[in-house]
Structure 1
């Protein structure tokens, strides 16, 4: 192996898309069968060392410890550990992660945050990486496992929170920066978002005209996907796993049409109603009937769907369920990985049940959309636009804008009410903050309260903008060198 980096894969998830001469791939097919025989859940991440080894003890962290965690959490832990393990192998000559020392971790911190040739990650990213590696080693050094002798992360005694009362001494990573922004929310106004979308995703010039240099092929699809995220606040993992069965039809006269987001694909099982604006819904149906239909037809003619590994087939679209080991499982019970191999048997042949497809006519991956956002940011940068967005920024934007609109109407409604009327109003219409919490799928309103900070910042920016540009103090300070003042002084 010439590549000194660890490699990250996902059980029965990456293999259908891998088309490479890499000799590692043949081994991965055999490994995948072994993982299936050992009941490792589909979509579970696993790491392969640079010399092609599958470390059972290392990957047990994903197959057992994190098995019940959301897939995004598993992926984030796997990605952070991959960086750490690759650094050990490449820069510290540590072939065995069990032998990592605090000195290795100090060198890693230097490279990640301060080295002139390093990535210069921000402190928020560094704190997350520290927490990830710390959690892994705390698990590995536990006496029941003793896979490693020590945790390379230095520890300190955690500060007890007054509200939690007396408790046993707890330890926390001593290498956390404690300086990263805790309340900062990156969000875009509607005007900023439209400019970013049109230039970055649709390939327009900043002036709003078509840019002949744009070579993107899926501008309309990408903009439709992005619009839905901006208007509903769905997470990337949730929106990417939507199927045609969660797509409602337009209702004449309705500005918003709701659909149920099943617990199986909602992060932390936060099943909820999602309200789709009619304009976004129409654009999605246009995509389904045109661009998506063309991709399906091309893939069908090429026999792509006949080669899908272990497909789950819906025989009757009007009664969407699949048979798994003799059990009738409805679509709303299928998770992210299962939906990727879910097909519908139509009059014209098989087609994916997934709403969002890639250019090969297969369900798109989250990485596909992350790369689309990165490409859009690069394009905006080339046009010298100070605009950047990522999927979570669009979720933040939905939350801030919706909360601001609801609070404005809520306050106006309650201004002229007496206390009794206000209480009744609250009981009938609820709390705007809690409504936004439900739309975002937060388990606690405390999480949603972070957006209040953004509104406070917005209010202060508005007040500052109203200060006249020619503002000066009402009286100039006295000139202490004026002889007249000296003559009158005592």
Structure 2
């Protein structure tokens, strides 16, 4: 970690106090902290930046309380915060301790050269650079509008409207960063064929050897839970943050009458981009989730209840009736639907269980506490390390499972769609398409994409996969044997 770096932190409702008490009367600062946050307009979980000398810049951090930022998803807010912190760290370390107010266009161009062209730099891709520029540009646009700066250090050019594009939101004279990369158009989708996924899961997550047998010495305490978590991701296309935020209210229990798939509603409050949608889970995977809830989860909940861990939660939300998804904050008189609670609020949600209060979050860790996104990322990293140690040349991350779902599902739907259309006459095909729609649009809805243009990348992946299959059929030698025709004999 860079010592002289800007750091990203999250606004908390409570301070963590030492077990022996603070050295001074810190309780005065923590009394009614939640009410104080509400009075000053701060939301718990909002990111803020701290300078390398541990200073809190009030003006700079007002950016994260601006309307444009507060309407964005929490993950997007933290993404902007990290990209802005990286640029400010560059100013501090490489531009002689310069602050955000003193940044110039030359500083931005120097940052571009280091990020993309410097032999000792990170050499980021065009897509990554464009994302970073967008975050820093959003901050400086806000600072100029708010009157904190006369101009932005990010050079601008007029945005050209795309041919055939609607001009309702993007006008011909709208500005955009002049340093946007031109090589960001090509997107390489990383995904695993089903067989490769099973090998990665069994070796990396379950701890099996390459022969598919349990490996001696592997601690398999949470292998079943982790494998089930991955199976849910790869069979539903949920994002990591979305799946981490699921509660027992969303995910139903499996029943014999359920059929091949069971669907549940992903609420808008935890869906990225407010893309609330139906999520379809295969019955076999849901049965594994039930086993986890019935055994592993129930065990850690019982241990946490016996240790009184949930009683020490400060001002939790409580759903007093298990069958009714309504919650009330301790100390408040108003009730809120669970589906309206965000991810950070769900981490503090308790529900009345058979033996008392327990977390409503579905995925719990060893201590019976809700698992964080970072904890699951570490699980993927550890699984990749096990594959490497076992000689399995496979690696996977959470979003790769989402790509896998999209590619495999689209291929299956496309094949069935074309087969059905081939057996029908034109009028039947038109009716079939109207009723069942386009496979690409169906996958778009499952992924929560706003535009089918975003989903097209998976169709391109299928086209590339088909081309690889066709190329494999091309003979290795181009000089094919040809029978020599005896023209004289032919004339005779």
Instruction: Please tell me whether the aligned partners of residues 256 and 275 of structure 1 are also in contact (alpha carbons under 8 angstroms).
Output: yes
Structure 1 residues 165 and 369 mapped into 2: Cα distance closer, same or farther (>3 Å)?
closer
Partner of 2:386: helix, strand, or coil?
helix
Match of 2:223 in 1: 219
Q: Out of 340, 343, 348, which is 1:341 matched to?
A: 348
Distance 1:381 1:140 in 2: 47
Structure 1 residues 109 and 386 mapped into 2: Cα distance closer, same or farther (>3 Å)?
farther
Instruction: Please tell me whether the aligned partners of residues 94 and 100 of structure 1 are also in contact (alpha carbons under 8 angstroms).
Output: no
Instruction: Please tell me whether the aligned partners of residues 98 and 149 of structure 1 are also in contact (alpha carbons under 8 angstroms).
Output: no
Match of 1:418 in 2: 425
Q: Out of 374, 392, 406, which is 1:385 matched to?
A: 392
Q: Out of 383, 392, 412, which is 1:405 matched to?
A: 412
Match of 2:164 in 1: 163
Deviation of residue 288 (structure 1)?
A: 1.2
Distance 2:17 2:456 in 1: 41
Instruction: Please tell me whether the aligned partners of residues 111 and 118 of structure 1 are also in contact (alpha carbons under 8 angstroms).
Output: yes
Following superposition of structure 1 onto structure 2, how do residues 91-102 of structure 1 map, counting pairs within 5 Å?
Answer: 91-94=94-97, 96-102=99-105
Aligned positions, number: 469
Please report the RMSD computed on the Cα atoms of aligned residues, expressed in angstroms: 2.9
Match of 1:428 in 2: 435
Deviation of residue 84 (structure 1)?
A: 1.7
Deviation of residue 297 (structure 1)?
A: 2.0
Structure 1 residues 180 and 323 mapped into 2: Cα distance closer, same or farther (>3 Å)?
same
Match of 2:57 in 1: 55
Partner of 2:358: helix, strand, or coil?
strand
Q: Out of 230, 236, 243, which is 2:240 matched to?
A: 236
Partner of 2:138: helix, strand, or coil?
helix
Match of 1:481 in 2: none
Match of 2:277 in 1: 272
Match of 2:191 in 1: 187
Following superposition of structure 1 onto structure 2, how do residues 67-78 of structure 1 map, counting pairs within 5 Å?
Answer: 67-78=70-81
Partner of 1:113: helix, strand, or coil?
helix
Distance 2:22 2:244 in 1: 29
Following superposition of structure 1 onto structure 2, how do residues 27-426 of structure 1 map, counting pairs within 5 Å?
Answer: 35-64=37-66, 65-94=68-97, 96-142=99-145, 145-164=146-165, 167-212=171-216, 214=218, 217-252=221-256, 254-324=259-329, 325-426=332-433
Deviation of residue 186 (structure 1)?
A: 1.6
**What's the TM-score, normalizing by structure 1?**
0.88
Distance 2:307 2:204 in 1: 32
Match of 2:487 in 1: none
Structure 1 residues 412 and 17 mapped into 2: Cα distance closer, same or farther (>3 Å)?
farther
Instruction: Please tell me whether the aligned partners of residues 159 and 172 of structure 2 are also in contact (alpha carbons under 8 angstroms).
Output: no
Deviation of residue 432 (structure 1)?
A: 1.3
- The Cα offsets for residues 457-488 of structure 1, whole Å up to 9 and x where unpaired, read as 11101111122334535679xxxxxxxxxxxx
Instruction: Please tell me whether the aligned partners of residues 99 and 148 of structure 1 are also in contact (alpha carbons under 8 angstroms).
Output: no
- Higher mean alpha-carbon deviation, 462-471 vs 408-417, is at 462-471
**Unpaired stretches in structure 2, ≥5 consecutive residues:** 484-492
Deviation of residue 384 (structure 1)?
A: 4.2
- The Cα offsets for residues 37-65 of structure 1, whole Å up to 9 and x where unpaired, read as 42322321111222222222211121223
Deviation of residue 108 (structure 1)?
A: 2.4
Distance 1:201 1:293 in 2: 21
Deviation of residue 308 (structure 1)?
A: 1.4
Deviation of residue 168 (structure 1)?
A: 4.0
Structure 1 residues 147 and 163 mapped into 2: Cα distance closer, same or farther (>3 Å)?
same
Partner of 2:403: helix, strand, or coil?
helix
Deviation of residue 22 (structure 1)?
A: 13
Structure 1 residues 210 and 52 mapped into 2: Cα distance closer, same or farther (>3 Å)?
same
Distance 2:208 2:126 in 1: 35
Deviation of residue 331 (structure 1)?
A: 1.4
- Higher mean alpha-carbon deviation, 276-285 vs 380-389, is at 380-389
Distance 1:85 1:423 in 2: 56
- Higher mean alpha-carbon deviation, 29-38 vs 41-50, is at 29-38
Instruction: Please tell me whether the aligned partners of residues 161 and 172 of structure 2 are also in contact (alpha carbons under 8 angstroms).
Output: no
Distance 2:482 2:178 in 1: 52
Deviation of residue 358 (structure 1)?
A: 2.2
Q: Out of 471, 475, 487, which is 1:468 matched to?
A: 475
- Higher mean alpha-carbon deviation, 208-217 vs 119-128, is at 208-217
Deviation of residue 117 (structure 1)?
A: 4.1
Structure 1 residues 193 and 113 mapped into 2: Cα distance closer, same or farther (>3 Å)?
same
- Higher mean alpha-carbon deviation, 386-395 vs 306-315, is at 386-395
**Unpaired stretches in structure 1, ≥5 consecutive residues:** 477-490
- The Cα offsets for residues 433-477 of structure 1, whole Å up to 9 and x where unpaired, read as 22112211222222222211111111101111122334535679x
Distance 1:115 1:18 in 2: 45
Deviation of residue 383 (structure 1)?
A: 3.8
